Structure 1
Amino acid sequence: MNFFEFKVEENEEGTRLDVYISSKLEDKSRSYIQDVIEAGNVKVNDKQKKSNYKLKIKDYVTLIMPENKELEVEKENITLDILYEDSDVIVVNKPQGMVVHPAPGNLSGTLVNALLFHCKDLSGINGVNRPGIVHRIDKDTSGILVVAKNDNAHQKLAEQLKEHTMTREYIALVEGVINSDEGTVDAPLGRHPVDRIKMSVIKNGRNAITHFEVLERFKANTLVKCILETGRTHQIRVHMTHIGHPIVGDPVYGYKKQKFKLEGQLLHAKKLGFIHPSSDKYMEFESQMPNYFTKVINVLRNELKK
C-alpha cells in the first residue's frame, strides 16, 4: 500500500475531490481515482467523502493507494520487424495499431507479448508488465523503439533519455500550412484538468520541448520533422495542436472531421540514435514511412499539380 496526504490550498478551494486527487497523481485516470474513493480509501479530515465533494481551504486529504497487481503476460508468436539485435538491445519497427505493453483490458497483441516469445531475456527493471521497455510510442504511432535485454543496458539507455542525449526524430503530417520553416514549442504538459485521458499544456506541468522543421507544404497541410528534446506522453500530438496544427488522423487531439479514412494519426518515429550500452559507440537507425502514410502524401502532391 502507498500512503499520500495533502493539505488544500486557497487556490484549490471548491475543487471536486476526484479532480483534486487526479491533479496530484498524474499517472492515474480520474475513473481509477473515483473507484479508489468509492472503495473507502480516501478521507477528508478523517471522514469518507464522495467523488463530487467540494474541497475547502485547509481540508486534510489522505489517500491509501492499493498496490498495482502484476498482470500475467503471455508469450505470443507475433511477427516483429527487427532492425537490429544483439545480446544487449533489440531495435524494432513498431506498426501502427500495436500497443507497446499490456495493461488492464489490453493483455494481448502487444509488443511485449511478441518480445517475450522472441527473446529469452529482457530487462526486469520495469517489472513483468513492461520487461525491456525503455521508452514508448503511442498505439497509433508507428516507428522505431529500442528494447533492453538486460538491466545494465536498460539503465544506460534510460540515462540517455533522462539527459536528452538520445536522438528521436519523427515525421508528421499536420493540418494547415505552417509559414515558418522551423520552430520550437516550449510548453509544459500535464493531465488535462477535466478529461484525464488527455494531456494538455498547463501552467505547472512538466517541462516539454519539441523542435520542428517543415519538409513539404501542400494546399492545406504541412509535412514536418519533429525532434524531441523531452519525451512526455503525447508530446508531439499536444504541442502541434497547441500551435494550431494538429496531426492529421489524430482521434484525440485532431479535427473531428477528417479528409482521409485513417486508423490513427500520421506520426512516424523515423529515426532513433543512442550510445550502445556495451560498446559505447553511437548507433543510429531509420525506418521508412508506412504505406498508408505515403499514400496520403502522394494524394496531396497530386492535388498541388491540379
Structure 2
Amino acid sequence: MLKEKKIYININKKIFTKNIRIDKFLFNYFKKKKISRKKIQNNIKIGNVLLNNNKIKKNNKLNINDKIIFIYKKDFFYKNKKKFIYQNKKIKINIHYEDNDILIINKQPGLIVHPGHGNYKNTLINWLKYYYYKNNINQLNYFNYRLGLLHRLDKNTSGLLIIAKNINSYNNLKLQFLNKTIKKQYIALVWGKPINNYYIINNYIGRNIKNRIKMKVYSNKKYGKLAITKYKIIKNYKFLTLIKCIIKTGRTHQIRVHLNYIGNPIFNDDIYGGNKILYKFNNFYNKNKYTKTINNCFNILPRQALHAYYLKFKHPTTKKNIKFIIDIPNDIKNLINYLKK
C-alpha cells in the first residue's frame, strides 16, 4: 500500500478569494501540477480533505484563517499515472517469442494490462518496466506509459499480445495497426447457436451512456467508432457453441459487445450477461438437470470464454510475414472436454 502524505494550507489574505468553494480553491492552488477539478472533488468525497479538522463537501465555502489538510497518496500528482510506473518482478509472464525488436507474450486470464482504477502495481505494464530494467533495455523514454505495448486484452481474456522493444519497432507496428494489416483471431464459447454459420458484424461501438463500464452498439458513427467482427462456427454443443472470431478493428470489448448484440453472449462474461443461466437458448425438458450441468460449467471455467490464439504481421525489421499460434488454454479446454460428454 502507498503511504499517505499531507499538505497543510492556511487561508490568509494573500490567497483568499471571497465566496470561493473549496474544490475550486484547491484546483487553483494545485494549478501548476495540472490536477483536474474532478480528481480533487473525488479526494474530498472520500474524506481526504479536512477543513478545520472536519470532513466537508466539495461546495463548502472558505473563510480567512481556515485551515485545510489535504491528504493524498504518493502517485496522486502524476497525471493519469503516465509518469510514474512501479516495477513488479513477482508477476509471472509466459514469453512466447522474443528477439531484439519484439516480445510476444501469452497473457494469462486475470492479469490487467494497464495500471488504473486502484491497481497501479500488479499489471503487465509493471512487469514490463521490471523486465526492461533487468535486461538493460534503454528505450523506455520513447514509450512513456505504454512501454512498447501496442494493444490490449481484457482482464479475463487470455492470449497473445505484441510488445515493441525499441522505438523503430513501435512506430512500424503502430502503423500496421492503423492500416489494419495485423491479423488477430480469437476463439470463444458463446451461449446458444448463432443463426448463421459464418457472419460479419459491421456497426459502431461506443461507451454506454447509462453504464460507463460497458460498451454499446450504435447504428451510426455519431455515438461510436466503426467495428467489424467476423465469426465462424467451429462446433455446436448442447447449449454452447465454439466459434472463431476475426476482428478487423480493435474497439474496447468489441467481440464481447458484438456477440451479445447478435444474441449470443460469451459464456461467463460478467459484464454482458454471459454469467447467467440463459434458458432461452435451449429446449430444456428438465431444467433442474441442465441447471446442475451448467453450474458445473461455471465451476470449470470461472472467467469469460475468450482467447486470442492467432497473430500475423510483418516483422518490423526483416519485413517478413510472421505468425504466432498458441493452443487453447487448459481452463477452456477442460470445459470443451466436459461439453463433449
- Category of TM-score, reference length = shorter chain: 0.7 to 0.9
Pick aligned residue for 2:306 from 267, 275, 283 = 267
Give the TM-score, by structure 2 length: 0.67
> Structure 1 counterpart of 2:200, which letter?
T
Structure 2 residue 111 is the aligned partner of structure 1 residue 108: no
> Structure 2 counterpart of 1:245, which letter?
N
- CA distance in structure 1 between the aligned counterparts of 2:191 and 2:91, rounded to whole angstroms: 34
Change (3 A) 1:213 1:123: farther
> CA offsets per residue over residues 188-231 of structure 1, 9 Å max, x none?
00000110111111232100000001100111111000001000
- CA distance in structure 2 between the aligned counterparts of 1:184 and 1:124, rounded to whole angstroms: 40
**Residue pairs, 1:1-306, within 5 angstroms:** 35=38, 38=41, 67-69=79-81, 70-119=83-132, 120-121=136-137, 124-127=141-144, 129-202=145-218, 203=220, 204=222, 205-258=224-277, 259=294, 260-261=298-299, 262-302=301-341
Change (3 A) 1:101 1:169: same
Change (3 A) 1:74 1:173: same
Change (3 A) 1:179 1:78: same
- CA distance in structure 1 between the aligned counterparts of 2:197 and 2:140, rounded to whole angstroms: 41
- Whether the 8 Å contact between 2:85 and 2:126 is mirrored in structure 1 is no
- CA distance in structure 2 between the aligned counterparts of 1:256 and 1:131, rounded to whole angstroms: 34
- CA distance in structure 2 between the aligned counterparts of 1:36 and 1:73, rounded to whole angstroms: 21
Change (3 A) 1:106 1:37: closer
Correspondence for 1:44: none
- CA distance in structure 2 between the aligned counterparts of 1:245 and 1:93, rounded to whole angstroms: 26
> CA offsets per residue over residues 220-268 of structure 1, 9 Å max, x none?
1110000010000000000000000000010101234253134321000
Deviation at 1:76, TM superposition (A): 1.8
- CA distance in structure 2 between the aligned counterparts of 1:175 and 1:91, rounded to whole angstroms: 31
- CA distance in structure 1 between the aligned counterparts of 2:324 and 2:210, rounded to whole angstroms: 39
Deviation at 1:109, TM superposition (A): 2.3
Higher mean C-alpha deviation, range 96-105 or range 211-220: 96-105
Deviation at 1:75, TM superposition (A): 3.4
Higher mean C-alpha deviation, range 260-269 or range 142-151: 260-269
- CA distance in structure 2 between the aligned counterparts of 1:142 and 1:92, rounded to whole angstroms: 10
Aligned-residue CA RMSD (Å): 2.2
Flag the structure with larger Rg.
2
Change (3 A) 1:37 1:189: farther
> CA offsets per residue over residues 56-81 of structure 1, 9 Å max, x none?
xxxxxxxxxx9534333223243321
Runs of 4+ residues deviating >6 angstroms: none
> Structure 2 counterpart of 1:109, which letter?
N
Mind listing any 5+ residue stretches in structure 2 that lack a counterpart? 1-35, 43-58, 60-77, 278-293
- Whether the 8 Å contact between 2:314 and 2:320 is mirrored in structure 1 is yes
- Whether the 8 Å contact between 2:143 and 2:167 is mirrored in structure 1 is no
Give the TM-score, by structure 1 length: 0.75
> Structure 2 counterpart of 1:100, which letter?
V
Specify which structure has the higher proportion of helix: 2
- CA distance in structure 2 between the aligned counterparts of 1:158 and 1:123, rounded to whole angstroms: 16
Change (3 A) 1:134 1:194: same
